[in-house]
Amino acid sequence: DAGITQSPRHKVTETGTPVTLRCHQTENHRYMYWYRQDPGHGLRLIHYSYGVKDTDKGEVSDGYSVSRSKTEDFLLTLESATSSQTSVYFCAISAEGTEAFFGQGTRLTVV
């Protein structure tokens, strides 16, 4: 397995609280991505990064922000969690022209 870990693996939080999910890689890959997986929607891209401090929005970026201060870490922040953000979040990494490797996912429940 590619060296990619997500933390936490499970989290329950209350509506309106901020939440940060972490993705850590040991592969030194340039590209990192955050997706959310929902039944009936498949995986949808939230944000991605193409280098340190270089990020861009994906398809469903509203309510989310990201930061990448070093190559190995990509953080996803929900500024004020809502119930619609209850989902499974996957981080992925890739080098140029290679396949994407996925983390094991974070199951987030907003109550």
Partner 1 sequence: AQRVTQPEKLLSVFKGAPVELKCNYSYSGSPELFWYVQYSRQRLQLLLRHISRESIKGFTADLNKGETSFHLKKPFAQEEDSAMYYCALTPGAGSYQLTFGKGTKLSVIP
Binding site for partner 1 (CB under 8 A): 1, 31, 33, 35, 40-45, 48, 58-59, 90, 92, 94, 96-97, 99-100, 102-105
35 or 64: whose CB is closer to partner 1?
Answer: 35
Distance between CA atoms of 82 and 3, rounded to whole angstroms?
Answer: 31
User: Min. distance of Cβ 80 from partner 1 in angstroms?
Assistant: 26
User: Min. distance of Cβ 30 from partner 1 in angstroms?
Assistant: 9
Tokens 């500024």 correspond to 79
55 or 81: whose CB is closer to partner 1?
Answer: 55
46 or 81: whose CB is closer to partner 1?
Answer: 46
Task: Output the CA–CA distances (angstroms, integers) from residue 64 to 56, 72, 73, in the order listed.
Answer: 12, 20, 16
**83 secondary structure, DSSP code:** G
Distance between CA atoms of 94 and 108, rounded to whole angstroms?
Answer: 24
